[in-house]
C-alpha cells in the first residue's frame, strides 16, 4: 500500500470527563485528507459502557468521508474509561484498516485486574484485548492493528506523524476534544 494508500484517515479521541461524571462522554473524530484537516465527526458513548465500537462504526459509516477513508486511528483501545473498542470488528464492519496507537505499552496485568474486578462486562472487554494481543513497538510508539501488516502500520505512523511521534489525526482529535471538554486544549496525546 503506497503513500497514497493512507491519504485519507480519521483519528478518534474522547473528550475529558470528571472522575465523578456519570453522563455520556463525547468522542471526536478528526478527518484528514493528506496533511489537511478535512472535517470533524462526533458522537457520545457511555462511560465504561459497551457501545464504543458500534458508535464509531455509525460515525464513520454515516459520515460524508466514509468512501475516501483508508485508515482509522485510535488513541488507545478504550474511550470513556473502559468502553473498549474492538478494532477487529471495526475493521470488518467498515472495510477500513484500524491502527491503535499509544506512546507507551500499557500495563496489561493492571488493566486485566481492573476490568475483571471493577468494570461491568469486564470479562468480555478483556477478551477483546486478549484477541488483539500486546502492543507492538513501531516507529517510536506502540501499536495494535487490524487489517494492516506490521510494515503497513510502520508506514502509516511515519506518514501521519507530522509533528512528533503521534499521528496527526490523533493529535488533532485530542486537541479538539480538549477544547470541547475543558474550553481549551492542553497536554500531550
- For the chain, the structural domain boundaries read 3-182
CATH 3.30.2170.10 fits 3-182, yes or no: yes
Q: How far apart are CA 16 and CA 182, in angstroms?
A: 7
DSSP 122-133: HHHHHHHHHHH-
Question: What pLDDT was estimated at residue 3?
Answer: 41
Q: pLDDT per position in the chain (189 positions), as tens?
A: 444 468 899 999 999 987 777 789 999 999 999 889 999 999 999 999 999 999 999 999 999 999 999 999 999 999 999 999 999 999 999 999 999 999 999 999 999 999 999 988 999 999 999 999 999 999 999 999 999 999 999 999 999 998 899 999 999 999 999 888 666 566 665
Question: What pLDDT was estimated at residue 188?
Answer: 60
Q: How far apart are CA 86 and CA 91, in angstroms?
A: 9
* Strands, E assignment, 7-113: 8-14, 25-33, 36-45, 71-75, 78-79, 83-84, 98-102
Question: What pLDDT was estimated at residue 57?
Answer: 98
Question: What pLDDT was estimated at residue 18?
Answer: 79
Q: How far apart are CA 189 and CA 186, in angstroms?
A: 9
Question: What pLDDT was estimated at residue 21?
Answer: 74
Rg value, the chain, Cα: 15
Question: What pLDDT was estimated at residue 59?
Answer: 98
The answer to whether the pTM exceeds 0.95 is no
Amino acid at each position: 500500500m503506497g503513500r497514497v494508500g493512507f491519504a485519507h484517515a480519521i483519528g478518534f479521541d474522547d473528550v475529558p470527563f470528571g472522575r465523578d461524571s456519570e453522563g455520556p462522554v463525547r468522542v471526536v473524530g478528526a478527518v484528514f485528507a493528506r496533511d489537511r484537516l478535512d472535517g470533524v465527526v462526533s458522537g457520545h458513548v457511555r462511560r465504561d459502557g459497551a457501545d464504543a465500537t458500534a458508535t464509531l462504526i455509525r460515525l464513520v459509516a454515516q459520515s460524508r468521508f466514509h468512501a475516501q477513508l483508508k485508515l482509522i486511528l485510535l488513541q488507545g483501545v478504550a474511550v470513556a474509561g473502559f468502553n473498549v473498542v474492538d478494532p477487529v470488528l471495526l475493521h470488518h464492519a467498515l472495510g477500513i484498516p484500524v491502527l491503535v496507537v499509544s506512546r507507551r505499552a500499557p500495563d496489561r496485568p493492571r488493566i486485566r485486574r481492573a476490568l475483571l474486578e471493577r468494570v461491568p462486562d469486564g470479562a468480555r472487554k478483556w477478551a477483546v484485548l486478549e484477541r488483539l494481543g500486546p502492543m507492538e513497538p513501531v516507529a517510536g510508539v506502540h501499536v495494535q492493528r487490524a487489517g494492516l501488516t506490521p510494515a503497513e502500520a510502520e508506514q502509516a505512523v511515519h506518514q501521519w506523524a507530522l509533528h512528533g511521534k503521534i499521528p496527526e489525526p490523533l493529535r488533532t482529535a485530542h486537541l479538539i476534544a480538549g477544547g470541547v471538554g475543558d474550553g481549551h486544549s492542553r497536554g500531550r496525546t
